[in-house]
Amino acid sequence: MDRARNTWGAKLRRTLTCGLPVSRSRRGACRSCGLCCELPNACPFLRFRPDGRSFCAIYRWRPLNCRKYPRTAAEHITRPECGFSFPD
């Protein structure tokens, strides 16, 4: 994870821009790693299955910034574990 961009300011920017569309270049799918749920600290709704995969306790009602992460390549800080990518 890119620790330099894992700040409260970055979280605020992701929250303020979550109403914008997801980049058309985004590819892939969620791998249930849970890293996005720890930006910049662990979400109280993050849970783990016995196999180590994560899930959201409020998945149906999760906020837009959770639904759309990573919305752009610039905010994608959970590489390489994250299943999403932004090919050049």
Domain that holds residue 59: 3-19+27-83
11 located within any domain = yes
What is the distance, to the nearest Å, from the Cα of residue 51 to the centroid of all Cα atoms in its chain? 20
- For residue 44, the surrounding DSSP H or E stretch is none
**Full-model pTM:** 0.88
Q: How confident is the model at residue 4 (pLDDT cuts 50, 70, 90)?
A: confident
For residue 88, being part of any structural domain is answered with no
Domain count, the chain: 1
More confident residue, 88 or 79: 79
Residue 44 lies in a domain: yes
Separation of alpha carbons 69 and 78, rounded Å: 10
In a domain, 40, yes or no: yes
